[in-house]
Amino acid sequence: MSEFVKGLEGIVAAQTEMSYIDGEKGVLEYVGIPIGELSAKSTFEETVFLLWNKRLPTRSELDEFTSELRQRYELPAGMEQRVTSLPTNAEPMHVLRTMVSALGMHDAQPNEIELDRARRKCLNVLGHAPTIVAYFDRYRRGLPLIHPDRSLSFAENFLYMLNGEKPTATMARAFDICMILHADHGLNNSTFAARVIISTLSDVYSALTGAVGSLRGPLHGGANEGVMKMLNEIPSVADVESHVMGKLERKDKIMGFGHRVYKAKDPRASDLQGLAEQLAKDTGNEDLYAKSHAIEQIMEREVAAKGIYPNVDFYSATTYHCIGLKLDLFTPMFALSRIGGWSGHIIEQLDGNRLFRPKAEYIGAHNAPYTPIDQR
């Protein structure tokens, strides 16, 4: 009988060619390419192609992939009406989860899982998801919807649909980099959820819906919102020390720190730190960056010995705030990007599928008496 491992920590449950992580050294590669190379030189569209095909595209392949994605910026008929009939106080992650599921009903053949068909469905969700989030945000704010613009990149188009004006090149590039950095990360909880669901030969929409549900948890993608809430609670840089020490004394977790895999600084956090610092300067949010940096220094002094360092969520909070995103859109941003990674894993899982079916160790009673209801 195999040993029970709580949280499946350290258990190898799948093989992948998508991302490689060395948590001790703080290394992340997509298909062998260091993440810093991709965030400096690639685009989100190219990165998704890389993850799905395990190689970089030629120029014409990238053009074709980009064009297919842009054709999916517009929602299928009827979806706009769905989004604009939701409760305006719904949380965007609940909206995204529900609408990804609804996309399955707007696909005439939702259950097709042959590899090329499954890829098309992944592309549908990747293309439609930003429109769902932007439409919902404008609808809840009582603003007219801004329809997608196919001449724009994934990053530009999303910010355009959200704000009603084309983003500056710096903002668009910053957002594009965030999308690259969040696209894939081994067998994290939501990716595992997607692979578990598709392993029943269910359908792409169900697998992606489950993954969105997993991502919203505060121990996973929801941590970036937790970071921002913490930064908002701290009045100034001078208050950081007492705030953080108080939390540590109460054994509260500091959001944006620690990782099941990384025992060194998450390389994505290093990339985002530079981005956050620059954007904070450009947008007059220096105080926010200064508070973040001060938190990192205290954490370095107090808990680095336990292998607790900033993770991807820590500086993404400042970055998203400077880009102008509202707090409850932070986790949906993570999801928009991670749909690229989840999709690649769905394709990998389907290609040589084996149903996930682990065992539970039974630790209850045996031969227990059945007591009649009136005698309990």
Ligand X SMILES: CC(C)(COP(=O)(O)OP(=O)(O)OC[C@H]1O[C@@H](n2cnc3c(N)ncnc32)[C@H](O)[C@@H]1OP(=O)(O)O)[C@@H](O)C(=O)NCCC(=O)NCCS
Q: Which residues bind ligand X (CB under 6 A)?
A: 219, 223, 253-260, 303, 306, 308, 311-313
For ligand X, give the closer residue by CB, 174 or 255: 255
Closest contact distance (angstroms) between CB of 197 and ligand X is 21
Nearest CA to 290 out of 235, 221, 222, 229 is that of 235
DSSP 203: -
Examine the residue annotation and report whether 252 is marked as an active-site residue of this protein: no
Closest contact distance (angstroms) between CB of 253 and ligand X is 4
Contact predicate 127/153, CB 8 Å: no
Closest contact distance (angstroms) between CB of 341 and ligand X is 14
How would you label 282-314 residue by residue, b for 16+ Cβ within 10 Å and e otherwise? eeebeebbbbbbbbbebbeeebeeeebbbbbbb
For ligand X, give the closer residue by CB, 113 or 183: 183
202's tokens? 């269910």
Among candidate residues 220, 287, 293, 328, the one labeled active-site is: 220
Examine the residue annotation and report whether 259 is marked as an active-site residue of this protein: yes
Among candidate residues 259, 266, 271, 321, the one labeled active-site is: 259
Closest contact distance (angstroms) between CB of 348 and ligand X is 22
**Residue-level length of the chain:** 376
Nearest CA to 136 out of 322, 321, 332 is that of 332
Q: Residue 321 and residue 310: Cα distance in Å, rounded?
A: 18
Examine the residue annotation and report whether 345 is marked as an active-site residue of this protein: no
Q: In the β-sheet with 27-30, what is the strand arrangement from edge to edge?
A: 19-22, 27-30, 33-34
Closest contact distance (angstroms) between CB of 342 and ligand X is 16
Q: Classify 151 as helix, strand or coil.
A: coil
Q: Residue 328 and residue 22: Cα distance in Å, rounded?
A: 31
Among candidate residues 243, 313, 321, 345, the one labeled active-site is: 313
Q: Residue 361 and residue 75: Cα distance in Å, rounded?
A: 45
Which residues have a catalytic role annotated? 220, 259, 313
